[in-house]
A and B are shown apart, each in its own frame.
Chain A
Amino acid sequence: MEPLIRTVNLKKYFDVSGGKLHAVDDVNITIPKGKTLGVVGESGCGKSTLGRTVLRLIEPTSGEVYFEGENITKASRGELKELRKKMQIIFQDPFSSLNPRMSVFDLIAEPLVTHHIYKHRADLTDRILELMEEVGLAERYVNSYPHEMDGGRRQRVGVARALALGPEFIVCDEPVSALDVSIQAQILNLLMDLQDNLGLTYMFITHDLSVVKHISDEIAVMYLGQCVEHCPTKELFANPMHPYTKALLSAIPVPKLRKNFTRKIIRGEVSTPIDPKPGCRFASRCDYCQAGCTGSDIPLKEYSPGHYVACPHCVELMEKKE
């Protein structure tokens, strides 16, 4: 079956003072309808850029994006406007993503008004109250402003806005990172319920593996613009293969006191995303770096059904461990 979302060799390069910054470099992902792809990786590795390029909020440098089998890379403005109804985004930052001068009513109304969905004010009001209920926001907040609400409620407004037009696909860009664990759990449960009820498809961006574990069917691990490992969620936690994925998993802070404990820090110079040299971009920080790791690019290879890894030595490494 045709996946809802598919990218082919997607690239986004930015011009910065030092040259061309390869924020997304040759990424191929697919997301089947009704499923969630988790995208994880360190700060600055290109997760948000990938999400925004898929939505065409940013123009790709090259490559293609398919939505329901249709190439939307060259979609016109008019076509894009229609697509916007089907593809939405929820941002991390409930501070800067909501206009501070707009009330909750206006914020949720905005997408509906922009797309001229309702002729009558009463219908608009009904829909807004319905959305507020759907995301668990008490009706009395309808006239509040973002700064008068806490982070959890602000994020519910963000979710309601994204849902307003009845989308099929939502990019969730770190939607819970700024929230405390309890509210995180509430918002994650909300997103999962909405997925069940509305058949939504998600691309879930996060740097927090414990969050993504609960919500994703598959996970793509990114490092400096590239996807270095991709497999079903369970498989990733049971058999992480790329050295970077392993480092990520071992560095998760644990809510227990451990005397004189310091987490393992990945040492070594971060290689530059600006006009990068060919070869593995993690090599300079990798404990297992060998001759073949630099010089030419390392493609993703399928090591077991559905488990793709971009590391020529990952199998040896697995064996060494045992």
Chain B
Amino acid sequence: MAIPDKNEPGSSLLQIQDLNVIYKTDEATVYAVNGISFELGRKETIGLVGETGAGKTTTALAIMRLLPEETGFIKGGEIRFQGEDLVKKSQPDMREIRGAKISMIFQDPMTSLNPIMPVGDQILESLEIHNSENLSKEDLNKRVDELLSLVGILPQRKKDFPHQFSGGMKQRIVIAIALACRPELLIADEPTTALDVTIQAQVLELMRELKEKLGTSMIMITHDLGVVAETCDKVAIMYAGRIVEAGSAEDVFEGEKHHPYTVGLFGSIPNLEEETDRLHPIDGLMPDPTDLPPGCPFHPRCKQCMDICREKMPEFYTSGEHRIACHLYTKGD
């Protein structure tokens, strides 16, 4: 592994280039991820944001190489992790990488919890696997208590089983397990959706610490732009399997130009200060991923749709790191 400045913050850890993923079901082919590219440096956090069905989880599963065997396929592109293309790795190699270097917090906590093992033992198990400091059993047990407290669960409950916890508590236990692994890349798929704001703040602080202390890079999949604002260095907005806008957090939150979809997304957030009876979702639904429209995938819902948008897929308009795939900004060229 001859990557020179390997531990330098910001040096590249993950490069995704033109990734395409499909699902083949009995009836149709689902075009879930359609040519996305992004890069993540060490100690960096990128937020993947987008409506349900945008392809966020699919992207994460592709990186982990955990797409459903019979139906999910990477159709093209590269996923370079520490310089090596994960797409070309064998499953046994991937198992090792998943154990040691990349870990994922799944959207559904029960995917990663063993229903018949006390939760404390599950955290302990993952600490034991990653025990590079050769801590004694006693110290490891202390660490279990610490991790549980950190996610707001009383250590005295470590002998209880997953079904004895609430939804949000299960999610927190999964987070504790993922953190116990001390991965280099942590993919968190909606890690705080079931958590109230006070516990969410605690968990996010914990993740920030992990980043500072261990230099962990993170992909934060979330629909909560508030969480993105607090934790992410970079943001990629996904729509129908594509990145429609990406850039630094400043670009996406404070930049002048935006993709109309990004504007809609910000507009649909319930506003606590405002008195309204109705909320303002973006009209219409995401297109059917088995039958994507020609041109820009957002055009059927776009208030600023032009003729060209119905015919031609827009290229990226770029300004520094900020990319926007919209004809509004590229039509001059």
| A17-B160, A43-B168, A189-B281 known; A254 vs B249 contact (CB < 8 Å) | no
List chain B residues, Cβ under 8 A from A186: 281
CB interface residues, A 191-222, toward B, < 8 Å: 192, 207-211, 213-214
Structural contact, A253 and B226, CB atoms closer than 8 A:
yes
Structural contact, B268 and A182, CB atoms closer than 8 A:
yes
Structural contact, A152 and B51, CB atoms closer than 8 A:
yes
Does chain A have a CB within 8 A of B311? no
Complex formed: what's the CA distance from A257 to B266 in Å? 13
In the assembled complex, the CB of A58 is this many whole angstroms from the nearest CB of chain B, namely: 13
Stretch at the interface among B38-46, B80-88, B96-104, B149-157: B149-157
Structural contact, A183 and B52, CB atoms closer than 8 A:
yes
CB interface residues, A 151-192, toward B, < 8 Å: 151-153, 174, 177-186, 188-189, 192
In the assembled complex, the CB of A94 is this many whole angstroms from the nearest CB of chain B, namely: 9
Q: How many A-B residue pairs have CB under 8 A?
A: 188
Structural contact, B164 and A16, CB atoms closer than 8 A:
yes
List chain B residues, Cβ under 8 A from A17: 118, 157, 159-160
| A42-B196, A151-B52, A255-B253 known; A265 vs B164 contact (CB < 8 Å) | no
List chain B residues, Cβ under 8 A from A252: 197, 226, 272
Structural contact, A42 and B199, CB atoms closer than 8 A:
yes
Does chain A have a CB within 8 A of B107? yes
User: Beta-carbon contacts of A227-249 to B below 8 Å, as 1s and 0s?
Assistant: 00000000001000000000110
In the assembled complex, the CB of B160 is this many whole angstroms from the nearest CB of chain A, namely: 5
Stretch at the interface among B132-140, B200-208, B324-332: B200-208
Does chain A have a CB within 8 A of B269? yes
List chain B residues, Cβ under 8 A from A265: 198, 201-202, 205
Does chain B have a CB within 8 A of A36? no
Structural contact, B228 and A183, CB atoms closer than 8 A:
no
Number of A interface residues at 8 Å Cβ cutoff, please give it.
Answer: 63
23 contacts between A and B (CB under 8 A): A42-B168, A42-B198, A43-B195, A93-B108, A150-B52, A150-B53, A178-B107, A179-B223, A180-B49, A181-B225, A182-B51, A183-B51, A183-B281, A185-B270, A188-B279, A210-B272, A214-B270, A255-B224, A255-B225, A255-B228, A256-B229, A257-B253, A265-B202
Complex formed: what's the CA distance from A150 to B153 in Å? 31
Complex formed: what's the CA distance from A213 to B108 in Å? 27
* Contact among B118, B154, B190 for A270, CB-based, below 8 A: B154
| A183-B51, A266-B198 known; A177 vs B226 contact (CB < 8 Å) | no
Complex formed: what's the CA distance from A44 to B75 in Å? 42
Structural contact, A256 and B253, CB atoms closer than 8 A:
yes
Complex formed: what's the CA distance from A57 to B92 in Å? 44
| A16-B160, A262-B205 known; A255 vs B266 contact (CB < 8 Å) | yes
List chain B residues, Cβ under 8 A from A261: 230
- Closest B residue to A150 by beta carbon equals B53
Structural contact, A257 and B229, CB atoms closer than 8 A:
yes
CB interface residues, A 23-50, toward B, < 8 Å: 40-44, 48-49
Does chain B have a CB within 8 A of A288? no
Does chain A have a CB within 8 A of B277? yes
Does chain A have a CB within 8 A of B90? no
